[in-house]
Structure 1
């Protein structure tokens, strides 16, 4: 979206003309009344809000003070784009630069002056160091941009914060949908009777991946590896490698709607599970659940496994692993098929709404970013 604005009366300034770095420090955090301690880990990339902190009883060496309205800029690894405006007073890490607006800049506009791609590019360019580059405020102070008159600053701040309100409401909707989804998932565990997973479906390991790269040349047959088992809002596989006729000669083909779960390596702890959206070949690091009993809906089993922690079955060895026999012993709620279908339909509907809401949130963020970049 192109944002039309007349900048004829805007003046070129440096960041140091309108922002300064306060040098206030705290000797005793509790005695001086500070309740929040902030490290880089508390600033979320791309979020102008400071939402997290340690409590003041946390053991810390931090002494740098920030106040309400100040900007906290992660000066270490500036490419992470960690910038947030404080809504409370506190003490922060030395890897955070505190910035405060002077009377030439509307404090509500400050986070958007900082939170734009040109500023981040400048900060990265002027960072020094190897593995953990840092940038100093004295270098950031030379950053140039066009600044509108004070009255117009207030108008632009109103516009940008109104856009931020839209984003916050989108986030609130997503959070409520997630709570609803998790509440519905819990109903899967509310059953007096259970059935062993091994009595509901076949459970097998996949096959060793072909070691000859030629097996993948000009391939057309989908092959699922461990890296393809990632979180997917609808639960289905979204990526594959592809084998040719030579590559599939000794491999077993598994049917669409089979459920795949990691059974070896640290990937088990990710708790990711996916459903095959087509017939496919599968690597041996994955377990495949397929040929489901007519009394069980495969999607119901998938949703049940979303609540079940596979990591609780890990054998205590140097390499985490799951035995197929242990997977088969998992107790699945013994709900009748009609009840299963109702639960699946309700969860599917929530996911559809979540996907739509997530798309709206992404559009709102893209619009906000476009507005900021065009202004400054």
Structure 2
């Protein structure tokens, strides 16, 4: 976050003595324009899944000709309108449309009453803690709770005088601009990271028959060989432990499930379960053990365990591979599983049935580039450097968003 903005937020002392208690319905107007989908020039639609939590920007949308939409998609919105997800309001889905389009009747389309409020402030009011708490409190239904417009319209908040609204709007949007620039930088870093992985793993340049090929990667201008994963192992792969009883809350070992691993291969800290060590000693993970998910919708997900993580055992839907580090650096295997080559391998191997599945034999047939350990380490260092920059920027974005959220709640 820009240091000047941080200082402004820290020093912000709002005198609200002249602010007026205002109902949301007095500054916001619900739009109910309908669209005849058979006779419209509109081509884009937005559904709930296209809107991100606590993100004012539309980053995804659908095209009307791409798929069937149910009869609920009749609501028209215009560029500049605010879209609000009226179901499961705890998700805080508020976004500003940057094009004309169609949405469902469960998404409220909102315009600001510009006679009473600077329109730039309205979306931040809808992102505030008070507004969200009101929506949650007044939602109806248990499975898929929803809020009615009349209950939103009754929400009351302190509105600053018009002569103060402009400065507050500029500050709030300046913070949003900083976050957007950081997001743009992150997207570029992620793109470079992804391209580099695929170059380093020479995607598409070797086949299944073990032929010697020439890499197109500029770093490795030499002829290389390939190797199968089964030839890089210290022992046979091991399937995980199926807990015979409900894991103990105060067990001595963490019980790692597929759901404990995120899409990037990190161990999730929240919502963990533990298990007693009795009868599970052979499933205790050692430093640099490699886990593959073998079944379910997340088949192919991976985790590289290291000794800095808490002592753990692994669940039955995971397979442990112990790699011979003299042949294959486990970190290199981890980066390989982030490549397009690995995605191609998964698509080829997954057996579709009641549950998608890849077994240990199939994983062992995976083909890798047979680089020397020195070259593997060189590539790992380069990718580690990129990953470190990505993680640093992600942390910075999190801090910026926290500061933005703090300011929104100071104001509203």
TM-score w.r.t. structure 1 length? Answer: 0.89
Tell me: CA distance 1:185–1:67, structure 2 relative to 1, closer, same or farther (3 Å). Answer: same
Contact 2:44–2:102 at 8 Å: present in 1 too?
Answer: yes
SS at match of 2:95: strand
Contact 1:206–1:281 at 8 Å: present in 2 too?
Answer: no
User: What's the counterpart of residue 334 of structure 1?
Assistant: 370
Tell me: CA distance 1:198–1:112, structure 2 relative to 1, closer, same or farther (3 Å). Answer: same
Contact 1:188–1:333 at 8 Å: present in 2 too?
Answer: no
Tell me: CA distance 1:114–1:187, structure 2 relative to 1, closer, same or farther (3 Å). Answer: same
Give the superposition deviation at 1:219: 4.5
SS at match of 2:157: strand
SS at match of 2:338: helix
Is structure 2 residue 50 aligned with structure 1 residue 42? yes
SS at match of 2:33: coil
User: What's the counterpart of residue 258 of structure 1?
Assistant: 289
Is structure 2 residue 34 aligned with structure 1 residue 25? yes
Tell me: CA distance 1:220–1:342, structure 2 relative to 1, closer, same or farther (3 Å). Answer: same
Contact 2:241–2:313 at 8 Å: present in 1 too?
Answer: no
Is structure 2 residue 16 aligned with structure 1 residue 7? yes
Is structure 2 residue 227 aligned with structure 1 residue 195? yes
4+ long deviations beyond 6 Å = none
Tell me: CA distance 1:254–1:55, structure 2 relative to 1, closer, same or farther (3 Å). Answer: closer
List runs of 5+ in structure 2 lacking aligned partners.
1-8, 206-212, 214-224
Tell me: CA distance 1:161–1:199, structure 2 relative to 1, closer, same or farther (3 Å). Answer: same
SS at match of 1:177: helix
User: What's the counterpart of residue 324 of structure 1?
Assistant: 360
What is the alpha-carbon distance in structure 2 between the residues aligned to residue 27 and residue 252 of structure 1? 60
What is the alpha-carbon distance in structure 2 between the residues aligned to residue 313 and residue 325 of structure 1? 10
Deviations 1:242-283 (A, max 9, x none): 543x3345x255431111111234431xx3211111275434
Structure 1 range deviating more: 257-266 or 100-109: 257-266
Contact 2:323–2:329 at 8 Å: present in 1 too?
Answer: no
Tell me: CA distance 1:109–1:335, structure 2 relative to 1, closer, same or farther (3 Å). Answer: same
User: What's the counterpart of residue 119 of structure 2?
Assistant: 107
What is the alpha-carbon distance in structure 1 between the residues aligned to residue 89 and residue 239 of structure 2? 43
List runs of 5+ in structure 1 lacking aligned partners.
none
Contact 1:237–1:276 at 8 Å: present in 2 too?
Answer: no
Contact 1:273–1:306 at 8 Å: present in 2 too?
Answer: no
User: What's the counterpart of residue 238 of structure 2?
Assistant: 205
Deviations 1:210-256 (A, max 9, x none): 5256x9686545554444333456x5686673543x3345x255431
SS at match of 1:45: coil
Deviations 1:188-210 (A, max 9, x none): 33162210111111441235345
Is structure 2 residue 176 aligned with structure 1 residue 170? no
Structure 1 range deviating more: 19-28 or 135-144: 19-28
Tell me: CA distance 1:34–1:232, structure 2 relative to 1, closer, same or farther (3 Å). Answer: closer
User: What's the counterpart of residue 134 of structure 1?
Assistant: 146
Deviations 1:84-106 (A, max 9, x none): 11222222210011111112111
Give the superposition deviation at 1:356: 0.8
TM-score w.r.t. structure 2 length? Answer: 0.81
Contact 1:30–1:56 at 8 Å: present in 2 too?
Answer: no
| Match 2:98 to one of 87, 91, 97 | 87
What is the alpha-carbon distance in structure 2 between the residues aligned to residue 210 and residue 137 of structure 1? 48
SS at match of 1:264: coil
Give the superposition deviation at 1:25: 2.3
Provide the alpha-carbon RMSD of the alignment.
2.6
What is the alpha-carbon distance in structure 2 between the residues aligned to residue 184 and residue 18 of structure 1? 50
Give the superposition deviation at 1:56: 4.2
Q: How many residue pairs are counted as aligned between the two chains? A: 369
Structure 1 range deviating more: 171-180 or 56-65: 56-65
SS at match of 2:292: strand
